[in-house]
Amino acid sequence: MTAFTLILQVTLLLYHQATTRFDFFPFNGARFCPAHERQVEATVNLVLMSLPPLGFLGVGPVLLNFGAAYYFVLFAVECATWWGPYFLGPSTRCRELYERVHRPTLTLVPRRGSNPVPNLEHLILMALTLTTAIIAWLTYREIHPAPFPVAWVASLIGCLFTGGTLYQFVVGRA
């Protein structure tokens, strides 16, 4: 099971890096992002997404715990980024970003007025993230059957990041 988890983690990492760094229009809107924006996003996510596989490879219990919780937090933030504005309406900054980068990309979800719509690139990303989260958690429980030692910390961090993202993408001003 650990090998399958590692395959999913690396696949998610490579998918994210490829869709952030390279232009696959109309699948993604990378061509509409300045290179420095893409570089910052790719670098931050490269670092964060590289830590869980290290934990599952046995580098250390802190990284293993991080990897058990990280993908659920990541999935919640991805949902807040896309589904919050889709259902609740976007902030001005979110609308400007969506219009500049994502509007001309491929979508499967029906439009809701002028609200941002999750595109195919991000629907695949969310499905891959959720799958990775579930499999990583099942693998973690197999490796570490005792109760998750820092559940309250992971939950608090997840709520803060998700709430902050939701605020920024739905309510935030400029």
- Say if residues 157 and 44 touch (Cβ distance below 8 Å): no
pLDDT at 118 over 90: yes
Q: Which amino acid is at 49?
A: M
Q: Dump pLDDT digits (tens) for 60-113.
A: 899 999 999 999 999 999 999 999 999 999 999 999 999 999 999 999 999 999
What spatial distance separates the first Cα and last Cα of the chain, rounded to whole Å?
A: 45
Q: Dump pLDDT digits (tens) for 126-143.
A: 999 999 999 999 999 999
Q: Dump pLDDT digits (tens) for 20-73.
A: 999 999 999 999 999 999 999 999 999 999 999 999 999 989 999 999 999 999
**Alpha-carbon gap, residue 142 to 121, rounded angstroms:** 32
Quick check: bond before 26 cis, omega within 30?
yes
**Alpha-carbon gap, residue 76 to 90, rounded angstroms:** 17
Read off the pLDDT band of 173 (50, 70, 90). low
Residues with Cβ < 8 Å from 35, sequence gap 6 or more? none
Burial of 88 (0-12, 13-18, 19+ CB in 10 A): middle
Q: What is the pLDDT of residue 42?
A: 98
**How confident is the prediction for the chain on average, in pLDDT?**
96
pLDDT at 174 over 70: no
Read off the pLDDT band of 150 (50, 70, 90). confident
Q: Dump pLDDT digits (tens) for 41-56.
A: 999 999 999 999 999 9
Radius of gyration of the chain, Cα coordinates, nearest whole angstrom? 17
Enter the pTM of the model: 0.95
Q: Which residues pair with 119 in a beta bridge?
A: 107
Q: Which amino acid is at 135?
A: I
